[in-house]
Homo-oligomer: A and B are copies of this chain.
Amino acid sequence: MLDKPTVEELSAVFKALGHPTRLKIVEILGSTGPVCVCELVGQIGCDQTTISKHLAVLKSTGVVTSRKEGLNVYYELRLGCAYDFIKCLERYSGRNSPGLTCESCRQGSSGS
């Protein structure tokens, strides 16, 4: 049985996603599957140590997992849910949309 996470744990997930670089990482992982750090560095164009620190944040909050393969470390999105939510938000942009709820996310989620 899964014990319900505390609000602190939950908000830590949001916080982890609350940085442009980390969000880009999640988008890349979500759209292309597991990639190694150097690949992320190449695509995002940040310093390697910066990416590495961001990955550590994502990993510590359970958003991604990692596995070592030879010299490389491959990161994979664990919280596919997050990617779905991002896609959801992208359609319901910040200020332009009057709409409240994203139907494609809503489904069996209404039970308390």
Binds B, one of A15-23, A35-43, A45-53, A67-75: A15-23
Please report A residues at the B interface, Cβ cutoff 8 Å: 2-5, 7-20, 22-24, 27, 31, 61-62, 77-97, 100-102, 104-112
| A84-B101, A109-B104 known; A62-B94 Cβ under 8 A | yes
Q: Which one, B17, B80, B95, contacts A101 given CB within 8 A? A: B80
Q: Are B92 and A79 closer than 8 Å at their CB atoms?
A: yes
In the complex, residue of chain B having the shortest beta-carbon distance to the beta carbon of A76: B100
Q: Which one, B7, B27, B82, B90, contacts A27 given CB within 8 A? A: B7
Q: Are B100 and A77 closer than 8 Å at their CB atoms?
A: yes
In the complex, residue of chain B having the shortest beta-carbon distance to the beta carbon of A107: B104
Residues on B with beta carbons closer than 8 Å to the beta carbon of A61 = 94
- Of the A-B pairs whose beta carbons lie under 8 Å apart in the complex, a sample of 30, sorted by A's number, is A2-B92, A3-B96, A4-B90, A4-B93, A7-B20, A7-B24, A8-B20, A9-B94, A10-B23, A10-B86, A10-B89, A12-B18, A12-B94, A14-B14, A14-B17, A14-B18, A14-B23, A15-B15, A16-B18, A80-B100, A80-B102, A81-B85, A81-B89, A81-B101, A84-B106, A85-B105, A87-B111, A88-B105, A104-B107, A104-B108
